[in-house]
Amino acid sequence: MRENTYKTHQKILGAILIAYGAINFTGGIALLAALNIVEIFVHEEEVIQLVAIFSRLIGGILLVLSIPAIIAGIGYVQEKDWSKSLGLVVGIVYLLLFPIGTIIGIYSIWLNAQDIIKDKEPVFAEDLVKGAAT
């Protein structure tokens, strides 16, 4: 992959990670806030406890997953080297968030694989002969 194409994909992935991380962060905050709203309208103790468990669990998971994604996205946009490692980890974890997270995870893994592959260009005999002739 050419260098400028790679950088374009890097910025696209960065923007996607920032946007998806922000959506997840907002969803996590909303789920944590939903507990207070449910307590106002519902007076059944069992329902409040059930909503509390699920909203804290899912909201907390969304918050924990969104922060590294936003950080990796900012790193990708700024073309920082550390963002590749963090982006790969986020991509692997996002594979579990079907369907959108899975697509983002595949794209992240593919982009990081391109970075590894570009350093491993195959050497052909013709190139060796041309190199020896010069």
Here the tokens at position 102 are: 């899975």
Read off the pTM. Answer: 0.78
Collect all residues with Cβ–Cβ distance below 8 Å to 77 and sequence separation of at least 6.
Answer: 11, 14, 15, 18
Alpha helices per DSSP H over 42-99: 45-77, 82-94
| Alpha-carbon radius of gyration of the chain | 22
- Domain residues for the domain of 97 are 3-133
Q: Report the domain count for the chain.
A: 1
Per-position b or e across 114-125, b if 16+ CB within 10 A of its CB: eeeeeeeeeeee
Name the burial class of residue 95, with classes exposed (0-12), middle (13-18) and buried (19+) by CB atoms within 10 angstroms of its CB: middle
**Residue with tokens 């080297």, as numbered in its chain:** 81
**Residue with tokens 């907390």, as numbered in its chain:** 60
Alpha helices per DSSP H over 78-134: 82-94, 100-118, 125-133
What is the chain's pLDDT, residue by residue, as a tens digit (134 residues)?
566 788 899 999 999 999 999 999 999 999 888 877 877 788 888 888 888 888 889 999 999 999 999 999 999 999 898 898 999 999 999 999 889 999 999 999 999 888 666 656 555 666 556 665 55
